[in-house]
Amino acid sequence: MRLIALEEAFSIPRLTARHPGLTDLGPIPVSREFGRHVARRLPDFTELRLPEMDRYGVDTQVLSHTAPGIQADLTAEEAVDAARFANDYLAKIVAAHPTRFAGFAALPMQDPKAATAELRRAVGELGFRGALVNDHTGGRYLDDPVYEPFWTTLEDLDVPLYLHPGAPAAERWKVTDGAAELIGPTFTWGAETGGHALRLLYSGVFDRHPRAHLILGHMGEYLPFMLSRLDSRYATLDPGRTLDRAPSAYVGTNILITISGVQSPAALAGAVLAIGADAIMFAIDYPYEYTEAATTAFATAPLSDADRHKIAHGNAERLLKLQP
């Protein structure tokens, strides 16, 4: 069975050096051992990454520039240059290993017009399969009206946007004071990114752009398990704007998920019940998660053969137009 992993990070030393200390690990109090593990694997493609893929049966990684990525470049000029450099760099890696790697574009959302142009270049000229953006950009979210042409372009190109956590924090959360364990993947990233996706949903982005697809990692950043509550609370609100459908109807159609970083057969079974196997794709979150654990959890999940094939490769092949 083919296995395609959709949320797999890489770094570029030249870009990492521009923001020393500002990495995907940020202020998270990780162990030195884990920090070394990640730092060794992020810039590597062939010495460690490909052999590990072979060892655990991962056929293809869809690569994206590690967080905070271009969202750390808070001047538009800097962001435009960095995104183009990152995408050209990744295109060379994919060209050297076209059956093992595919790419998601990094985008300079600081300049919406330039981000739209870079998306068109990355998909049309470089052959990328969509784009990945690390949450907000300088506190501006993707429901801002300036991004309407960007959403139109996503529809025109028929490629997805992967919304990933890890941008520099837009504000300080007092709930994390004295509790650094809550920062990042344990809690704040999921809440922030899931909230961003809900902003898009409630603002009507998917009513105005019904063919747009947003991907959320980490088993959907909590959303698949909150659908009934989204609907019941929406029915009590009078926000001055209405949606074409119930909030839950957008999750599993416009909003798709990957299982990155959630190595839980039980959670995967719940997500299938909540939104359906057609809306779920395999991912590891390499190198922040371990390939062996991710593939083992997926192999032991209580899935039908048909659903396992959809999640392992079929949905990604269809959405990203990857050759089966």
Domain membership of residue 306 as a residue range: 4-320
Q: Residue 188 burial (CB < 10 Å; 0-12/13-18/19+)?
A: middle
DSSP string, 117-156: HHHHHHHHTT----EEEES-BTTB-TTSGGGHHHHHHHHH
Q: What total of structural domains would you count in the chain?
A: 1
Query: Would you please indicate which residues are annotated as catalytic (active-site) residues?
Result: 285
The amino acid at 182 = L
Residue range 255-312, pLDDT digits in tens: 999 999 999 999 999 999 999 999 999 999 999 999 999 999 999 999 999 999 999 9
Q: Give the pLDDT confidence of 50-108 residue by residue, as tens digits.
A: 999 999 999 999 999 999 999 987 799 999 999 999 999 999 999 999 999 999 999 99
CATH of the domain at 222: 3.20.20.140
d(CA 34, CA 292): 16
Predicted confidence band of residue 17 (pLDDT cuts 50, 70, 90): confident
100-142 confidence digits (pLDDT tens): 999 999 999 999 999 999 999 999 999 999 999 999 999 999 9
Of the pLDDT bands very low, low, confident and very high (cuts 50, 70, 90), residue 22 is very low
